Structure formats: structure tokens, C-alpha cells
Amino acid sequence: MILTDTHTHLYYQQDNEKRAALIQRCLDNDVKRLFLPNVDAASVPQVFDLVKEYPEMCFPMLGMHPCSVKDGWEEELAIIRDSKKDHTIYAIGEIGIDLYWDKTTLAIQVEAFRQQINWAKSLKLPIVIHCREAFDEVFEVLEQENDDDLHGIFHCFTGNAEQAQRAINLGFYLGIGGVVTYKNGGLDKILPQFDLSHIVLETDSPYLSPVPHRGKPNESSYLIYVAQKVADLYQTDIQTVANITTANSKQIFGV
């Protein structure tokens, strides 16, 4: 069985021994593919260092997290883009709009999002979208930029059924993580309305730990709990969920 974590910040763990233990726990739980989004220029080397250490298991993305879009963002994004020249990447992400922390930066978040969408298109790569309290704003940009080259993942999808269908219609998969295990998360009622062919799994570690580890630091090995909950919701087995969601990830990322 091969489980794919399509979104993990495992590289935040800089202690070599602890990081090796995290990787071993992944392997012990059949989590054998890890996709790593940076968040800013400073985190780019951390991503590539982990990829270099575990090249068969770790796959990098590049992008600027919307919460990193502040004054001077153009220069930082240029640094991020320039870092690609020495590396293979598999997506542009995580990018998007976040209005939870700061609504005053909406205009520059939209501009950064749009620029990175077009960067992804030029590279024929998927995008991985961070969307927090900004579905209307994200969809507005996506619908303006929509064409055959636009595709990817709605990371940490927590929207309603209408928003899920809208994302799918635009060529996006739903990234499902620990929230699916939360009693009042709402995804248990929404997900079964959509075929597993539209879903990928993720942890967003070290954030959003699934039950039974909720409230503690998350890690990619905990993807096993997400997969089991999804299997329960679809009344199938975890092997089937692993097979379909990993196949979906290969379709998205091309690896």
C-alpha cells in the first residue's frame, strides 16, 4: 500500500535525528510519497535539503504563501522563482488568498496569486491553492484565468458542496486532511457526494492533526488516520483509498 501526503511541511523539523524518525514513522505507516510546499524565500533551501536527503520520497513545490505577501513581495517572489533554475519542481504552491489574518493585503494577494498562476501555466505545472475565508475571491481569479492549463489542488478543502463542485468543474482536486476526522468539521456530510476520483489526501503537518492526535503537532505518518476516516465515509477499505488517491496525485503532479 502506498499513501501520498500531497501537502506537508515536514522540512520545518530541522533536527536531523527527529526528522529521520518522522520519515521512518511515515514508512512504517505506508506513507511513501511526500509533496513539500515552501511558504517564502527562507523556506526554499529547507525544502530542497529534505528532497536531497530523501529523493525517492520527497517532491518539491515552489510558491509564495498568501500570508507571506507583504510590502516588497515582488522581490521575494523573484528570489523564489529564481531558485527553480537548479531544481525540478512538481507544482507551484502553496499560493492563494488568505483573509483570516489580514484583509488589508487583498489587492497584492490577488496580484501575487495571479502572477503565480501564470508562472505555473508557463511551466505546465499544477497549482496548490491555500484558501482561507476567501472562496469568492479565489474563485473570481480562477474563473478569470481558467483555461486548459489551469489545474491543481484545493489544499485543506473545508468548503461546502457547492464550492467543492465549483472547484472540480475548474479542474481541481480536493485536498482532504485532518479536518475530515473532526466531529464538527462538516466534511463527513460533503465528501460522500463526490467520487473518490476527485480527492487527494494530505496532512499539512505540523498543523491540523487528525483525531486521535488533535491539538498536538501533526506529522505525515498521521495520514493513516485521514485515509481510514475517508475509507469509512466511502464504505470501502483503506487500500482502495490509498490506491485511488495516490493515482490521483500521480495524475496531478506527473510523478
Contacts 24+ apart (CB under 8 A), 139-146: 139/163, 139/166, 139/170, 141/97, 141/110, 141/113, 141/114, 141/117, 142/117, 142/170, 143/170, 145/114, 145/117, 145/118, 145/121, 146/170
E strand residue ranges, the chain: 3-5, 31-36, 58-60, 92-98, 127-132, 152-154, 172-176, 199-201
| 87 annotated to a ligand binding site | no
| 149 annotated to a ligand binding site | no
Partner residues linked to 131 by β-bridges: 97
**Distance of alpha carbon 32 from alpha carbon 66, whole angstroms:** 28
| 9 annotated to a ligand binding site | yes
Partner residues linked to 36 by β-bridges: 60
| 65 annotated to a ligand binding site | no
| 133 annotated to a ligand binding site | no
| 49 annotated to a ligand binding site | no
Identify the three-state secondary structure at position 168.
Answer: helix
Q: Using the 8-state DSSP alphabet, how is residue 236 labeled?
A: S
Identify the three-state secondary structure at position 32.
Answer: strand
Amino acid symbol at 173: Y
| Residues ≥6 apart with Cβ < 8 Å to 148 | none
Identify the three-state secondary structure at position 92.
Answer: strand
CB 35 within 8 A of CB 90: yes
**Residues that constitute the known binding site:** 7, 9, 94, 130, 155, 204
**Residues that constitute the known binding site for a divalent metal cation:** 7, 9, 94, 130, 155, 204
